[in-house]
Amino acid sequence: MDGSRKSPKPSVLFLYSMAVSAMAFIFSSPAALAVPAILNSILGFPLGRRSLPMKLVFIILIFNMWGALLNGIYFHNEGFVVLSIGGFAVRSGAFASFITLNLRFFLIIGATLLMLGLSGGSRELVRSLERDLGMPPWIAFSISHAFRLFPLLSRDYGELIVARKEREVGTNIFNPIVLKEVLFSMLSVSYERAVWSGISAELRGVKIRKRSMRGKIELQDLAVLALAAAEWVYAFFSSSLI
């Protein structure tokens, strides 16, 4: 079966997203993060849009931007003045902090969306993590379940908005009260689903399942790993490590 596949292995995509996300925690200069963040966002957002409710992602991005701005102004407002609003000066340090935090976020979410968009279903991900990386089944299941939640969250979100329209209550999730209610409903539905998924996995003997042999690494897998390596090399030479 592996011989006929066109997309990279889910395990390779998982390694890619881990390697690229790690860059967000290791490199701190905007110069090092800019190209990987833009590249992963350009690739990840179109590929991952079927796996996640994009409207919700954008809302979270906007909240993140506000958080990053406030964080920059409170803790890093030093250096030369970039912007002056009334009597208040936004300095280069705040601006750099704002840019860095957002690049990190875009890098992580872009790489995650890229992985979700290309890795197929959760079953393929579990199998691939166990077979290729030798991951214990219960860890592979937990990771896979977390990623499987994204498409389910997307469906829940759609259904919740339909139900809210029927109930003639707000659906604009830019409104914090509506966002709180929608998130609370999504978490409540997801929690019950997670409990039953765990019980179902236990009953199906996830821990005692036999593992198959390792699969072959193909050209598309090497391309993904090479891309991760190239991003690391670029970031390394563009910035000094913390």
Region near other proteins per CB under 8 A, out of 21-29, 93-101, 106-114, 164-172: 164-172
CA dist., res. 104 & res. 60, Å (int): 14
Count CB atoms within 10 A of the CB of residue 9. 28
Is there binding between residue 199 and other proteins (CB under 8 A)?
no
* Secondary structure of residue 70 in the 3-state scheme: helix
- 166 in contact with other proteins (CB under 8 A): yes
- 136 φ, ψ to 5°? -60, 140
Q: Is 163 in the site for other proteins (CB under 8 A)?
A: yes
Asked if 230 interacts with other proteins (CB under 8 A), we say no
DSSP letter at 240? Answer: -
Q: Is 167 in the site for other proteins (CB under 8 A)?
A: yes
Closest Cα to residue 104, out of 28, 203, 2?
Answer: 28
Residues 6+ apart with CB under 8 A from 191: none
What lies within 8 Å, CB to CB, of 137 at 6+ separation is 126, 130, 206, 207, 209, 211
Q: DSSP letter at 88?
A: E
Which stretch, 24-32, 44-52, 130-138, 167-175, contacts other proteins (CB under 8 A)?
167-175
- How is residue 124 annotated by DSSP? H
Q: Please report how close the Cβ of residue 168 comes to other proteins at its closest, in angstroms.
A: 6
CB of 222 to other proteins, least distance (A): 34
State yes or no: residue 164 binds other proteins (CB under 8 A): yes
Which of 37, 94, 108, 160 contacts other proteins by CB under 8 A? 160
Per rule CB under 8 A, is residue 168 in the interface with other proteins?
yes
In whole angstroms, how close is the CB of 181 to other proteins at the nearest point? 5
Contacts with other proteins, residue ranges (CB under 8 A): 156, 159-160, 162-164, 166-169, 181, 184-185, 188-189, 192
